[in-house]
Structure 1
Amino acid sequence: MNSPPHQRPSHHDSHTPQDVIFGPGSPLVETIIGQDLEYESIVWHSRSSPSPNSSQDAEWLNDHPGNHSMAESYRRPSFIASGPRSTVVAALSLPDHGYLSRRERDAIRDEERGLLRDSNCLPRERIDRDARGLTIGKRLSLPGLRKARSHQDEESRPGMLRTGSGRGVSETSPLLTGSVVTDHEQQTSNEEDIDKKWEEAVVAGKIKTTWQREVKVLGRYSSPLVLTFILQYSLTVASIFAVGHIGKAELGAVSLASMTANITGYAVYQGLATSLDTLCAQAYGSGRKKLVGLQLQRMVYFLWLITIPIGIIWLSGTAILRAIVPEKDTAALAGLYLKIILLGAPGYAAFESGKRFVQAQGLFSATLYCLLVCAPLNALMNWLFVWQFNLGFVGAPIAVTITENLLPLCLFLYVRFVDGMQCWGGFERRAFKNWGPMIKLALPGLVMVLAEFLAFEILTLSASWLSATHLAAQSVLSTLTALTFQIPFPVSIAASTRVANLIGATLSDAAKTAAKVALIAACFIGAFNITLLSSLREYIPKLFTSETDVIQMVACVLPLCAAFQLFDALATNCNGILRGLGRQEIGGYVNLFAYYVIAIPISFGTGFGLHWGLYGLWAGPAVALGIVASVEGIFIYRVSWERAVAEAQTRNSMG
């Protein structure tokens, strides 16, 4: 799982329900799912099996909430880019999902209850200690995961009864302690009551929110995402730390190899796998859960097939890079790096596909648990292989390869022993058929991700034309700016989800308040990053390398990187708010214009034309981020929130 030092996190690593490329109305999606459903109907008819999935169909129908609930109006924001600066290609109008998983519905029900209580439309209630569930520390253990799962299974058992106090009824329980109702009856009654109160409160304009509440919601949504993204990015940082102290050529080679691997390999995997965001979700929403596993198999086989041409490029990496990069020794080391990590490419492809498999089921914490295991192991292996076993530079790609193969294995163990097996129907020959529509659906996602990667990878390639010292310094700077990005980016995801929920619930004032809180939070985050990079600019480079000239160059350019942290945080959260408003095309066009029309010409002009070197290369992104934050901020300030609500209602009614 080796991403470049300056790669931004992928939205697929998050565990919030939000990111798709095409919605349920896409003809390609309808073709793929329709053919699979038709095939299953034929098979079931030939076997004379009466309604084999009737229970699943009933469960799927039960997952569609009432017309007036916040859940019914919920829409998933658009595809969040996985490239360096969260650039979004707005080539498509992104429709909504037509379903909600049970976990998503329950989460939104809780938000409805909270807003109703804050607006004095529901009485405050005391939450039992048992109802709060496990603590975070207990959840992270395997027994805690099993306990949580068994608790959910027990609650959903059809034959279970509840008394008026809410406790389970056993064979020895008194019969006359109170009214006895089934779980389903009680849940239906509660949901209908909330739906009614919600409708009345919305119509009366009683639903309000406060900045204090939105701060809590934003923190609750974003905090686990920050942890997930930092853990994932640590996989790259570990290699930079381990190799950086060997020499500047080795440090530059890691950055150059990562750039090549991402453009020619990892970006291809990520881009093509984005089609599963729709295919797995639609298969799950159709009620035929086994089709989710079928879509997973198709994508894994397809990505493994794509690995053949990718492998040819990586095996020829030394010759290709020597023809492009003037530093021949650095090119040779980068080519060696590519040859070794090729062994981990199939595992990376399987993990990228597997993430979509679990996310389609609402299991957004599965990736976090895998990273909690693999990230510390990756850091340990880098230290052991590079320094303790004296393998040197070769030790870093070996650690990466092992980690990339461990990640899908951990995800498999999670699905097998914790949750997710309900969508696995075993290996099927159908996985080798019906690839055409899937490939057509995947190609736009590939274009999106590649466009995002290229914008910042060009800087790394350009730095290699200056000197080995410049390339090594570029590797450190891009790592640092990407590391600081791990805070505002998760906040933008949380803001996107929150604004989308409130807009879908026709709460324009509440959505506006949530957006203001997100932008203010971005200012605090930007100020924190500025202070951190500025005050420690003499010390941070020493963590990555022992080369004096590299340390001095990084310390010289780092104030510029620190200066645009405020714009970086604001631009990122503006993008998130625009996604929540359903106006992601604004962010897409502004980002593409700023990076490809403004940033790259300025970088080349100042870096090479004015001979500013690395300082000039980073001047372009600094100006671009300022433009993005300003333009999008003005748009958000002038946007009509009432109109956004009306547009969301139109989309939902059409869906």
Structure 2
Amino acid sequence: MEGGENLAPESAYGDNNKNIHVAGSEACQQGCCCGLDAIGEAKRQLGLAGPLIVVSILQNSIQLISVMFNGHLGELSLSSASLATSFASVTGFSVLLGMASALETLCGQAYGAKQYHLLGIHMQRAVLTLLTISIPLSVIWFCTSTILISLHQDHEISTGAGTFNRWMIPSLFAFGLLQCLNRFLQTQNIVFPMMISSGVTALLHTIVCWLLVYKFGLGIRGAALANNISYWFNVFLLAIYVKFSGACRHSWAGFSKDAFHDFFSFMRLAIPSAVMICFEYWSFEMIVLLSGLLKNPKLETSVLSISVNTMWMVYMVSVGLGGAISSRVSNELGAGQPQRARLALVVAIVVALSEGVFVGIVTILARHVWGKLFSNEKEVIRYVAKIMPLLALSDFLDGFQCVLSGAARGCGWQKLCAFINLGAYYVVAIPSAVLLAFFFQIGAMGLWIGIICGLSVQVIALITLIACTNWDNEAMKAVRRVQEAGRGIGIETESLLSEEFNADQHPALT
């Protein structure tokens, strides 16, 4: 569903939207309309989430495929590539992903308010910021082996991880660009081109990885080079689409000097957004690092890395659902339709719960064969089968919180969610994991139980936050945010505050 195809640059809240908004609360009070609205919303979300799920899985598979190829070279190669990937995620990918997620709020609400010109400006600011941030991050990647050894990781594994990340530095810059393009298109409901480009890239990556790792005998370096090629190829495909497709003709007008002004409007959301994402992602990667301190580091690190990579792959389904609800909430709030935003969230919660139960069942059923995809070692395969039921529970909880977090990003609650994630993962999850793994000697399973404790706290906190939300107030905040973005480039958007928002009809907005 390419929402940009039929865009017309009309003023915000034209006559059609005006009638819809004024009737928004009344329609929800009429029982005959609620069921039809929910069904329509479910179809719309699934139509958007389906391609986003595929995109998430395919783009995440780039690193997963590389780890798989290295895994069949031996236990040391698997451990080195897994540790390198974890370190790269902690010190690079998660930071860029988090900062780019600010576009879900900014671009999503601007699109809902029909201020299409702002989308291109927001994306250009994000690109400039992420490319700049990537420079110091690349220095950290270059020193991977030194940092890991100083953290008392196994010397041999750390050396291999350092080699992998040094060869993968170019992918850091491509990853930042890719995340900006993804959010730019996603918030406009343009998802099929992303799915096609990701599919072509994943196919290319498998072939290139096989050639470089096995055919040319480059081993772990070949897998890193394959990552570089694949990420930049995906960026190239999406950039060509944005440049020449009619779907983006109103949201992308070429490079503009306006992107160099009012960086604060982006950074105000980008920094807490990065903190929010990093707090969550870092906790999982920290579990892998902690596994290197257990009695059998090669086995424990391999199993935990397989578990984390598997969880991220399953998590990509929830990321697709979270991306869909983020776009729906931000679009509706930007359009000044709070009740429709609330309905979208209710529908997304039902879908997330259904998906979580299904994925949990499949995870348990596949526990005896899953480890064989990553390793030929029988000890690794048996250990993976043992930990999979815990993985099923964490998948359920993580999927649910992902959808709730997506709605939070659509509202612009990144700062609140950063505090929630801080408490859930670093006050509850990590201390619990250390206690269970090292003091009670449960090993990798103890580390994973600690993560489950943190996820439970996160879910409870997000449910409480959403239950206390005044959606009318959130719509007003979205309108004001779009106005401020317009003023930042010298454009007044007073038409955004049309008669739908007068105090008589919406006293909560005043």
TM bracket, shorter-chain basis:
0.7 to 0.9
| TM-score (normalised: structure 1) | 0.62
Residue 276 (structure 1) shift? 4.8
Residue 563 (structure 1) shift? 3.5
Match of 2:220 among 389, 393, 396: 393
**8 Å CA contact retained: 2:356, 2:395:** yes
**Aligned residue type for 2:9:** E
Residue 329 (structure 1) shift? 1.1
Tell me the equivalent position of 1:473: 303
Match of 1:378 among 205, 210, 221: 205
**8 Å CA contact retained: 1:69, 1:199:** no
Residue 540 (structure 1) shift? 0.6
Q: Report the Cα distance in structure 1 between the residues aligned to 2:465 and 2:123, rounded to whole angstroms.
A: 39
Tell me the equivalent position of 1:61: 11
**8 Å CA contact retained: 2:330, 2:411:** yes
Residue 280 (structure 1) shift? 5.9
**8 Å CA contact retained: 2:28, 2:34:** no
**8 Å CA contact retained: 1:274, 1:445:** yes
Residue 409 (structure 1) shift? 0.9
588-597 vs 338-347, greater mean Cα deviation: 588-597
Tell me the equivalent position of 2:94: 267
Matched, 1:459 2:307: no
**8 Å CA contact retained: 2:105, 2:412:** no
Residue 415 (structure 1) shift? 2.2
Residue 66 (structure 1) shift? 4.5
CA deviation vs aligned residue, 1:138-161 (integer Å, no higher than 9, x gap):
xxxxxxxxxxxxxxxxxxxxxxxx
Distance change >3 Å, CA 545–CA 217, structure 1 → 2: same
CA deviation vs aligned residue, 1:353-376 (integer Å, no higher than 9, x gap):
333444566544443232122121
Q: Report the Cα distance in structure 2 between the residues aligned to 1:295 and 1:383, rounded to whole angstroms.
A: 38
Q: Report the Cα distance in structure 1 between the residues aligned to 2:472 and 2:323, rounded to whole angstroms.
A: 23
Task: Give me the CA root mean square deviation.
Answer: 4.0
Residue 567 (structure 1) shift? 3.3
**8 Å CA contact retained: 1:249, 1:472:** no
**8 Å CA contact retained: 1:252, 1:468:** yes
**8 Å CA contact retained: 1:527, 1:565:** no
Tell me the equivalent position of 1:556: 386
**Aligned residue type for 2:83:** L
Structure 2: gaps (5+ residues): 480-500, 502-508
Residue 278 (structure 1) shift? 6.1
Matched, 1:354 2:181: yes
Which one has the bigger helix percentage? 2
Q: Report the Cα distance in structure 2 between the residues aligned to 1:336 and 1:367, rounded to whole angstroms.
A: 31
Q: Report the Cα distance in structure 2 between the residues aligned to 1:297 and 1:645, rounded to whole angstroms.
A: 30
Residue 387 (structure 1) shift? 2.1
Tell me the equivalent position of 1:345: 172
Matched, 1:602 2:432: yes
| TM-score (normalised: structure 2) | 0.78
**Aligned residue type for 1:255:** S
Residue 397 (structure 1) shift? 0.5
**Higher Cα Rg, which structure:** 1
Match of 1:620 among 440, 446, 450: 450
Tell me the equivalent position of 2:504: none
Q: Report the Cα distance in structure 2 between the residues aligned to 1:258 and 1:275, rounded to whole angstroms.
A: 24
**8 Å CA contact retained: 2:269, 2:412:** no
Structure 1: gaps (5+ residues): 1-13, 18-55, 74-194
Tell me the equivalent position of 1:27: none
**Aligned residue type for 1:220:** G
**8 Å CA contact retained: 1:519, 1:570:** yes
Distance change >3 Å, CA 606–CA 278, structure 1 → 2: closer
Distance change >3 Å, CA 496–CA 207, structure 1 → 2: farther
**8 Å CA contact retained: 1:250, 1:393:** yes
Tell me the equivalent position of 1:253: 80
Matched, 1:415 2:365: no
215-224 vs 333-342, greater mean Cα deviation: 215-224
Distance change >3 Å, CA 551–CA 303, structure 1 → 2: same
Q: Report the Cα distance in structure 1 between the residues aligned to 2:291 and 2:51, rounded to whole angstroms.
A: 35
**8 Å CA contact retained: 2:279, 2:421:** no
